[in-house]
Amino acid sequence: MPLTDLLQDLLEDISNPRILWQALAIVGAVLVGLLLARFIRRSWLHEDDSQNAIRRLGVEGFGRVLAPLLIAGLVWSAKLALQEHQSVHLLRVALPLFTSMAVIRIVFYMLRRVFARHGQLGPALQTFEKILALVVWVAVALYLTGMWPDVIKFLDLHVVTLGKNKQISLLDILQAIASVVVLMMVSLWAGAALEERLMGLESLHTSSRVVLARMANALLILVSVLVSLNLVGLDLTILSVFGGALGVGLGLGMQRIASNYVSGFIILLERSLSIGDPITVDKYSGRVARINTRTTVLQALDGTQTLLPNEMLITGVVLNQAATNKAVRLSTKVTVAYDSDLNEVMDSLLRQADGVERVVADPAPSVQLNAFGPTGYELELGFSIVDAEKGSGSVISAVNKNIYALVRDGTIRLGLPPPMPQVERA
């Protein structure tokens, strides 16, 4: 049997002193591969000059899988060099092992670049990675034991009937699924890498970067689908039937989805809104965090996020503060005693906003007399910031601390209610 032949060949190599050359070749390939991968990452991936941008983009995409790829390549080179002089059964076993490790690392890296860009792996992705690793190792085991041709023959002989006269083997079905999955994975990975690259181009407007990234992703997915259908052997005229069904679906119940999708592209193309703009739509206010395909994410000052349909931003009234003035007016109120010098107190309050971090000089801070309250003058100190997306609580707190210092040293006397009369008990 093939497994018996494999064991017998390995035992013959073990009894031969020349096996040391194969063992040294494997150890050397591992050490050289690790050192070379480390050198490439340090020397190429950390270069920031624009002349090496294309090279850095290619190396960065495979930075995490360089080591197993280099090791597999070095083992293959050692096998070619030694097979002319001696048997290389040990290298023939080591080569598919290192190759499978490289394949698993490549697939894992692509999956995580597409579905886990922020480093958080979901349970579904973890389960898929475990299943994929198991399938790869089972395939390697079948190859090493010589059972792989038998499995291929078995899958090729068993067919599935589709329709009246169409028959397709299990091998063709599995090859079609594999080709579709591989092409879709490559297109999604390329789209994610291109999107990161485009979003880093400061010379382009934010909206232009988002539009180019979306169009590139859609184009890559479309090309991968067409190529996959062609490899599978399906007639591309089936797309016309699918297009007709899609048109009926849009006419019956998908108008809003299509409208939101088109509205998102309109927002990006006309640049009416950009990521980071403080806006107000209906009763929702905040900063534009993301412009997605169907919705726009609006982040309020307290950190809460609201998903607004893109159609709402096209058909409704939108107050865009970034298009007019980014300054946001803040204020704090204080009541001072009636026997205070009002002009002196107002001048002292006016200086408390000066020097506070994030408070801008234009428009300048101001103090207003709002009302004559029951306990004293009701004053309001107003000041402005231009980075409202960072929150306003810390700025107001800093100004209030400065006012508290004036109260402690007696510069300002607060208007306090009179003490409650004491009722003596009989």
Considering the domain architecture, whether residues 292 and 383 belong to the same structural domain is answered as no
Instruction: Count other Cβ atoms within 10 Å, centred on residue 264.
Output: 24
The predicted pLDDT at position 425 comes to 60
Same domain for 287 and 378, yes or no, is no
Predicted confidence at residue 212, as pLDDT, reads 79
What is the number of domains present in the chain? 3
17, part of any domain: yes
Determine the Cα–Cα distance for residues 287 and 290; give it in Å rounded to an integer.
9
Q: Is residue 163 part of a domain?
A: no
CA distance 238 to 229: 10
Q: What is the pLDDT of residues 101-151, one digit of tens each?
A: 888 888 887 777 777 665 566 787 788 888 888 888 888 888 877 788 888
Residue 24 forms part of a structural domain: yes
∠ at Cα 348 (343, 350), nearest 5°?
95
Buried b (16+ CB within 10 A) or exposed e, 181-200: eebbbebbbbbbbbbebbee
SS3 143: helix
* Domain end call among 123, 146, 169: 146
Whole-angstrom CA distances from 250 to 64, 240, 255, 374 are 43, 15, 5, 64
Closest C-alpha among 26, 150, 32 to residue 81: 26
2 prior amide bond cis, ω within 30: no
Which of these three, 146, 162, 196, is where a domain ends? 146
CB 309 within 8 A of CB 294: yes
- Classify residue 256: in a domain, yes or no: no
How many residues are there in the chain? Answer: 426
- Report d(CA 187, CA 165) in Å as an integer: 34
Residue 291 sits in the same domain as residue 363: no
CA nearest neighbour of 98 among 79, 126, 111: 79
User: What three-state secondary structure class fits 9?
Assistant: helix
Contact 191/217 with Cβ under 8 angstroms? yes
Task: Please tell me whether residues 318 and 336 are part of one structural domain.
Answer: no
| Paired tokens of 191 | 């789209």
27, 77: one domain: yes
Domain boundary residue among 99, 129, 146?
146
pTM for this entry: 0.54
Helix (H) or strand (E) holding 73: helix 66-82
Q: Are residues 120 and 59 in the same domain?
A: yes
Which residues on adjacent β-strands are paired with residue 241? none
Q: Yes or no: say if 389 and 321 are a contact pair by the CB < 8 Å rule.
A: no
> Is 238 within a domain?
no
* Cα-based angle 111, 112, 117 (whole degrees, multiple of 5): 135
What number of other Cβ atoms are within 10 A of residue 417's Cβ? 8
289/360 same-domain check? no
Residues 300 and 333 in one domain: no
- CA nearest to 383, candidates 369, 371, 366, 405: 366
- Three-state DSSP at 145 gives coil
Domain range spanning residue 401? 328-408
Distance from chain centroid for Cα 24: 43
Kindly state whether residues 280 and 347 are assigned to the same domain. Answer: no
Distance CA 112, CA 307 (A): 25
Same domain? For 317 and 361 the reply is no
Would you state the pLDDT for residue 45?
55
- Give domain status of residue 159, yes or no: no
Same domain as 311, residue 296: yes
CATH number of the domain at 369, please. 3.30.70.100
Sequence-separated (6 or more) residues with CB below 8 Å from residue 26? 75, 78, 90, 91, 94
DSSP string, 178-237: HHHHHHHHHHHHHHHHHHHHHHT-TTS-HHHHHHHHHHHHHHHHHHHHHHHHHHHT--TT
| CATH number of domain containing 287 | 2.30.30.60
Does 166 reside within a domain?
Answer: no
Q: pLDDT tens for the chain, 426 residues: list them.
A: 455 666 666 666 676 777 788 888 888 988 988 888 888 777 765 554 444 444 444 455 456 678 888 888 888 888 888 888 877 778 888 888 888 888 888 888 777 777 766 556 678 778 888 888 888 888 888 887 778 888 888 888 877 776 666 677 888 778 878 887 888 888 887 877 777 777 777 677 676 777 777 788 778 888 887 787 777 666 666 566 666 666 666 565 667 777 787 888 788 777 778 877 888 888 888 888 888 878 888 888 777 888 998 888 888 888 887 766 667 788 999 999 988 899 999 999 988 888 888 898 888 899 999 999 888 999 999 999 887 767 788 899 999 999 999 999 988 888 887 766 665 665
Residue 1 is predicted with a pLDDT of 43
Using the 8-state DSSP alphabet, how is residue 88 labeled?
Answer: -
Residue 53 lies in a domain: yes
Residue 120 near residue 129, CB atoms below 8 Å: no
One domain, residues 292 and 397: no
CB atoms near residue 178 (< 10 Å)? 11
Query: Residue 192 and residue 170: Cα distance in Å, rounded?
Result: 33
Are the CB atoms for 312 and 281 separated by under 8 Å?
Answer: yes
CB atoms within 10 A of CB 116: 13
- Name 212's Cβ contacts closer than 8 Å, sequence gap at least 6: 198, 204
